[in-house]
Amino acid sequence: METLAIVGVGLIGGSFALAVRRAGFAGEILGVSSKRTIDAALAVGAISSGVTLEQAAECADVLYLAQPIDQILHTIEVLGPLARPECLITDAGSTKSLIAAKAAECIRSASFIGGHPMAGKEQRGVEHADADLFRGRPYVLTPTLHPNSNSDEFRLWLVKIGSRIIEMIPERHDRVVALTSHVPQLLSTTLAASLADAGDDAVTQVFGPGLIDMTRLALSAPEVWMSVLETNKLAVLEGLRIFQNELAATMVALESGDVNRLFTHAERFATKIRVN
């Protein structure tokens, strides 16, 4: 890979650019974004110049799509007939099935790998990009379409920037993130909405630090979540039904005064994900 193009230079795209640069990438890094974002990305040194998507398709060895999901789907359609066979297209979208299907449909000879870096922070935008964002974090990759030397090299860069690569098919990824990310998001949002509707203003005063933890995700920007939920609707609904059943079991345990086993079971899982 001699030329890398970041399409959508936000927190994730900008962090990937800074990370490969820090890890020794000496080639050019192009950015495709709005004028305002390109200026910000140049200012933090994430990219070396701003170009159009068509210019990026002409010369990039790797096209890294870090846009919202609906825009990634559109970009793949546009790149389909443009991308060179020796190029790799990869994305960082939070759901993978629809993106993989779109890539299989539109991308004729270039390589494609779906990706999902399990990394982020509360602040958005390239101003907050961080070369260490991916370090020690899982990076899910879905199976490679039309492998080539750039798709092989891309995996090496992920290792160099400190990611832990986890490979799985798109459908399994989407089922897992429904359970670990999309359901927790909706529980936090639903909890906050339910308290807003409680009809007793004391709920905004009489609470401890636990409520702050449990409503932090409810602060998430809706515009990010719309396309995530829309492109993973069936898996999320299934995850919520699983949670509903588990909640019904919790209520039965509570009624019979037998929540000890539930707490111990849950505590073991909560501890395990903190050790990993």
Looking at residues 122 to 181 of the shown chain, list those that interact with its own copies (rule: CB under 8 A): 138, 140, 164, 166, 168, 172-173, 175-177, 179-181
Concatenated DSSP letters of 190-247: HHHHHHHTSS-GGGGTS--HHHHHHTSGGGS-HHHHHHHHHTTHHHHHHHHHHHHHHH
Q: How far is CA 23 from CA 61, 117, 132, 162, 230, in A?
A: 18, 17, 10, 9, 36
Cα(40)–Cα(245) distance, integer angstroms? 47
- For residue 22, state whether it binds its own copies (rule: CB under 8 A): no
Only one of the segments 10-18, 99-107, 128-136, 196-204 lies at the binding site for its own copies (rule: CB under 8 A); that segment is: 196-204
Cα(118)–Cα(133) distance, integer angstroms? 9
- For residue 244, state whether it binds its own copies (rule: CB under 8 A): yes
Nearest 5 degrees, angle CA 217-CA 242-CA 140? Answer: 60
Give the helix/strand (H/E) hosting 62.
strand 62-65
Site size for its own copies (CB under 8 A): 89
Taking the least distance from each CB to its own copies, the nearer of 90 and 227 is: 227
Which residues are bridge partners to 140 per DSSP?
Answer: 116, 166
Name the nearest CA neighbour of 100 among 232, 226, 4. Answer: 232
Q: What's the min distance (Å) between Cβ of 242 and its own copies? A: 6
Taking the least distance from each CB to its own copies, the nearer of 101 and 242 is: 242
Q: What's the min distance (Å) between Cβ of 78 and its own copies? A: 25
- For residue 26, state whether it binds its own copies (rule: CB under 8 A): no
The residue behind tokens 């001699």 is 2
Only one of the segments 97-105, 112-120, 145-153, 155-163 lies at the binding site for its own copies (rule: CB under 8 A); that segment is: 112-120
Taking the least distance from each CB to its own copies, the nearer of 62 and 229 is: 229
- For residue 69, state whether it binds its own copies (rule: CB under 8 A): no
The number of angstroms, rounded, from the C-alpha of 38 to the middle of its chain's C-alpha atoms is 21
**Among 26, 35, 36, 272, interactor with its own copies by CB under 8 A:** 272
The two structure tokens encoding residue 184: 């927790």
Applying the rule CB under 8 A, the residues between 252 and 271 that interact with its own copies are: 254-255, 257, 259-260, 262-271
- For residue 251, state whether it binds its own copies (rule: CB under 8 A): yes
Over the window 46 to 65, marking each residue x when it contacts its own copies by CB under 8 A and - when it does not, the resulting string is: --------------------
